Structure 1
Amino acid sequence: MEELDENGLSKSTRILLLVGVLIISLNLRPALAAIGPLIELISADYQLTEALLGLLTTLPLIAFGVVSTITPVFTKKFGIGNTLLGSLILLTLGIIIRSLGGIFPLYFGTILLGIAIAFGNVLIPALIKRNFPHIAGLVTSLYTGVMSLGAALAAGLSFPLATEFNLGWKGSLAIWSAFSILAIIIWTPNIKRIKRVPPRRSFKVAIKKLSGSLLVWKLALYMGLQSFAFYTVLAWLPSILIGKGMDANYAGWMLSLSQVTGIIGAMVIPIWAGRRKDQRLVILVLSIIEIVALTCLMIPEIGIVELWVSMIGIVLGGTFGLALLLIVLRSNDSETAAELSGIVQSIGYFIAATGPFAVGVIYDLTHIWNYAILLLIVVGILKLILGIGVGKDQKV
């Protein structure tokens, strides 16, 4: 008979639960990453401004900000497993509605899938804290690596699916619902493997306690700035490269390259950081790489765009994985991890939501993409300053 862990699970059952977590993770980015390469096609159909197109990336981030804070309310009532199942069903509906055609379904479906993804963003770190606390760095690396893989697939395949396979942008967006349907099938048996634990405190008490912590605010700002950079690149990198004279297909593949190299960062950095009590050195190295790569991308004469895009991808994947790992490392238990994850990601994504929209407005006003890159460099410097604080070994 297999030995059971503190949650009453055997080794084989934990593996099945991990598979379920990873299949959910695979669904947390494709619906977002698919938009960037298709922006020009959507714009051609609906004649939208750059600022309105930026909302297609911004709206999910606003949904992240609103829903993340209240996610613990759902988990205290329905449990983590049922809440995640509901989010997968909502994600599928959002993807399908967005693909029906028309401006209202486009934006309404985008809001729905943003709400759905928010639940997964918040709850996966809590599951890691609860079921895989002794290998949190490894599991976080797998989780963020699979997320980056999903983003890379969507970034690289969306434009070819729309053009070379004649699906159009609507069909290209709709195809990602197949992943979420598969996730529903695989996740459903896992619900019974997650033991319901009575909450130790109310949602109101938890928020009051966490919101009074300086460390929580530093974590939230760090999460916000890394997400600001990630979603700005996700939304506008193809347009930035096209503006520098590169063709749309190449620009789409560069976005895909940034997501592929992001897988490396997402898998390597949490393992490296998870083995250290203090993560400040990790944050310093990532910040230097990011600032150098962005600076070089501003100057077309330097060339080797593939190198700078790859470096940016590694950093963005790595800082995302690191931010999620810090939530796990800075909390004492799974309930605190869920609450901390909620408040940190809520504040963080409200900050991130300003990125794609702000860049769209900046370009509408100036028609110069280097201002967007300069903004990302400033964000990189701010991440370094905040990272020195959150990298210390301490608990909320």
Structure 2
Amino acid sequence: MKNQPNSITPTPSKIFVIMIIIAIILLAINMRSPIIGFGAVAHLVQADLDLSTKTIGMIGAIPMIAFATSSFIAPKISQKIGLETTLFIASVLLALGIFGRVWQLHFVGLLMGTVLLSLAISLGNVLVPAVIKKYFPNKISLVTGMYSLTLSVMAGVSAGIAMTLVSFKNWQFALGSWGMVSILASFAWLFIVLNTQKNQQNFVKITETIAKNQNKISVWQMPMAWFISIFMGVQSLLYYTLASFLPSLLIDKGLSEQQAGNVGMYFQLMAFPSIVLLTKWVGRGGSLRLMAVLASVVNLLGVVGFGFLSNQLAWLWSVSAGFGCGIIFTLCLMLFTIKANNSEQTAELSGMAQSVGYSIAIFGPLLTGWLKDMSGGWMLPMMLLSVLMAINCGFAWLATQNKSLS
């Protein structure tokens, strides 16, 4: 199905385009930071609120559950009130959630704030690719790479500076300070909403008409959408499993706490070079299939190395797994925009992929922990991860077929 000619699309002003990029970056800063930052200070939260480890674990699981259960709703909301308005609301809710969970030393505030910010992040997860498709159809790889890079790097920064921020005052300050960024994001998206409503009413009406003509078939009925969703989901399962258990696995295999921490850091830091490489590769017309399969293979290599090969090369297994995860996550964001026919279909595909993907990802830490406790070792969980990574090599091939959704 062909896209409509570009002649019907008014060219946004330079200031408007720059503000969209700024708004995307400001939103991206807080798409992972409140979640990763909480993990860094969870022991302080647990002590101050007198919570059990199980309760802290429940708080930590809320974002993934929210992503899995609410992502399919985001496209429906955006179709009713518009992409830009929905992301403005998401930015406001994100700020309220960040501030709400630290407003008082109370479990209810922590719980409700976490739920609120998780729902807001879920909206952003789904709709940012649609915004990129709408305003940057010729620079998808560049803008998506910028968004993914900001998201990944700031997640690492939030973990790295958490205790420094705590030293200034307390853990509430460390978590709440990120809310200022969401306030700035709210103003940026408000500017975009006002300009869209004032100057681009015809553009919005035209794109809505195109969407009605093109999106007669739900993406949930398209095999390609399922390939992309499962491809993303298995990668997410690996990422969250390693984020949860990699230090414990390495320590059990004989590394010191410091060594295990360093290896885990390599895994996170690989997001930067992998995203930069992918952005340049796609921007120069490189094969999506080649990069997807390569990333899946190095994911498999990393898992096999962690589970069954020498600890002396743990840094290599970490680099391999981190490179694969960074490539696949960003590549999936690009596939949302490249394979879809318009911004509305992009939002629908993004919502489906993230709903299915995070539903799959939830089982990674759960099954790994259960198999570890049941067997008393890491052999079974690492065998399961190895099989899943091998299967994902096939989905890498299927998700990058040279055709659009419909």
Short-chain TM bin: 0.7 to 0.9
Q: Is the 8 A contact 1:144 1:267 kept in 2?
A: no
> How much has 1:71 moved relative to structure 2?
0.9
Whole-angstrom CA distance in 1 between matches of 2:306 and 2:69: 34
Look up the match of 2:16.
13
The farther-off stretch of 258-267 and 78-87 is: 258-267
Whole-angstrom CA distance in 2 between matches of 1:53 and 1:201: 46
Look up the match of 2:332.
323
Whole-angstrom CA distance in 1 between matches of 2:260 and 2:178: 21
Q: Is the 8 A contact 2:31 2:121 kept in 1?
A: yes
Look up the match of 1:336.
345
Look up the match of 1:258.
267
Does residue 281 of the first structure (1) align with residue 301 of the second (2)?
A: no
Equivalent of residue 87 in structure 1, options 87, 90, 95: 90
Instruction: Summarize the Cα distance change of 1:213–1:301 in structure 2 as closer, same or farther, 3 Å threshold.
Output: closer
Q: Is the 8 A contact 1:87 1:116 kept in 2?
A: yes
Whole-angstrom CA distance in 2 between matches of 1:153 and 1:92: 19
Whole-angstrom CA distance in 2 between matches of 1:305 and 1:161: 31
Q: TM-score, normalised by structure 2?
A: 0.84
Where 1:303 maps in the other structure, the secondary structure is helix
Look up the match of 1:123.
127
Whole-angstrom CA distance in 2 between matches of 1:370 and 1:103: 37
Look up the match of 1:212.
221
Does residue 192 of the first structure (1) align with residue 199 of the second (2)?
A: no
Equivalent of residue 221 in structure 1, options 210, 217, 230: 230
Q: Is the 8 A contact 1:95 1:174 kept in 2?
A: yes
For residues 100-143 of structure 1, what are the alpha-carbon distances to aligned partners after superposition, in whole Å with 9 as ceiling and x for unaligned?
44444333322221111011111111111111111111111111
> How much has 1:385 moved relative to structure 2?
1.2
Whole-angstrom CA distance in 2 between matches of 1:248 and 1:5: 59
Whole-angstrom CA distance in 2 between matches of 1:232 and 1:176: 26
Look up the match of 1:136.
140
Q: Is the 8 A contact 2:237 2:361 kept in 1?
A: yes
Look up the match of 2:115.
111
For residues 70-121 of structure 1, what are the alpha-carbon distances to aligned partners after superposition, in whole Å with 9 as ceiling and x for unaligned?
1122212221111111111211222233334444433332222111101111
Look up the match of 1:48.
53
Does residue 61 of the first structure (1) align with residue 64 of the second (2)?
A: yes
Pairwise CA RMSD:
3.1
Q: Which amino acid aligns with 1:214?
A: P
Q: Which amino acid aligns with 1:91?
A: L
Where 2:396 maps in the other structure, the secondary structure is helix
Q: Is the 8 A contact 1:216 1:344 kept in 2?
A: yes
Whole-angstrom CA distance in 1 between matches of 2:58 and 2:379: 21
Instruction: Summarize the Cα distance change of 1:361–1:173 in structure 2 as closer, same or farther, 3 Å threshold.
Output: farther
Q: Is the 8 A contact 1:153 1:256 kept in 2?
A: no
Where 1:298 maps in the other structure, the secondary structure is helix
Instruction: Summarize the Cα distance change of 1:209–1:362 in structure 2 as closer, same or farther, 3 Å threshold.
Output: same
Q: Which amino acid aligns with 1:187?
A: W
Q: Which runs of 5+ in 1 are unaligned?
A: none
User: Percent identity, aligned pairs only?
Assistant: 30
Instruction: Summarize the Cα distance change of 1:277–1:308 in structure 2 as closer, same or farther, 3 Å threshold.
Output: closer
Q: Is the 8 A contact 1:9 1:193 kept in 2?
A: no
Q: Which amino acid aligns with 1:226?
A: Q
For residues 169-202 of structure 1, what are the alpha-carbon distances to aligned partners after superposition, in whole Å with 9 as ceiling and x for unaligned?
4443333223322322333322234445243489
> How much has 1:244 moved relative to structure 2?
4.8
Whole-angstrom CA distance in 2 between matches of 1:176 and 1:248: 29
Where 2:53 maps in the other structure, the secondary structure is coil
Does residue 388 of the first structure (1) align with residue 397 of the second (2)?
A: yes
Look up the match of 2:3.
none
The farther-off stretch of 376-385 and 237-246 is: 237-246
Q: Which amino acid aligns with 1:107?
A: L
Whole-angstrom CA distance in 2 between matches of 1:183 and 1:316: 27
For residues 272-326 of structure 1, what are the alpha-carbon distances to aligned partners after superposition, in whole Å with 9 as ceiling and x for unaligned?
2454475221112112211222222235843243343233222211110001111
For residues 317-356 of structure 1, what are the alpha-carbon distances to aligned partners after superposition, in whole Å with 9 as ceiling and x for unaligned?
1110001111111111112111221222222222222223
Q: Is the 8 A contact 1:87 1:120 kept in 2?
A: yes
> How much has 1:168 moved relative to structure 2?
5.0
Look up the match of 1:349.
358
Whole-angstrom CA distance in 2 between matches of 1:178 and 1:375: 42
Instruction: Summarize the Cα distance change of 1:254–1:150 in structure 2 as closer, same or farther, 3 Å threshold.
Output: farther
Largest Rg, 1 or 2: 2
Look up the match of 1:31.
34
Q: Which amino acid aligns with 2:139?
A: I
Where 1:74 maps in the other structure, the secondary structure is helix
Q: Which amino acid aligns with 1:185?
A: F
Q: Is the 8 A contact 1:222 1:383 kept in 2?
A: yes
Whole-angstrom CA distance in 2 between matches of 1:20 and 1:278: 30
Whole-angstrom CA distance in 2 between matches of 1:6 and 1:148: 32
Look up the match of 1:76.
79
Q: TM-score, normalised by structure 1?
A: 0.86
Q: Is the 8 A contact 1:327 1:340 kept in 2?
A: yes
> How much has 1:206 moved relative to structure 2?
4.9
Equivalent of residue 174 in structure 1, options 163, 176, 183: 176
Q: Which amino acid aligns with 2:362?
A: A
The number of residues matched between the two structures is 388
The farther-off stretch of 365-374 and 258-267 is: 365-374
The farther-off stretch of 326-335 and 268-277 is: 268-277
Q: Which runs of 5+ in 2 are unaligned?
A: 1-6
Q: Which amino acid aligns with 1:283?
A: A
Look up the match of 2:4.
none
Does residue 295 of the first structure (1) align with residue 304 of the second (2)?
A: yes
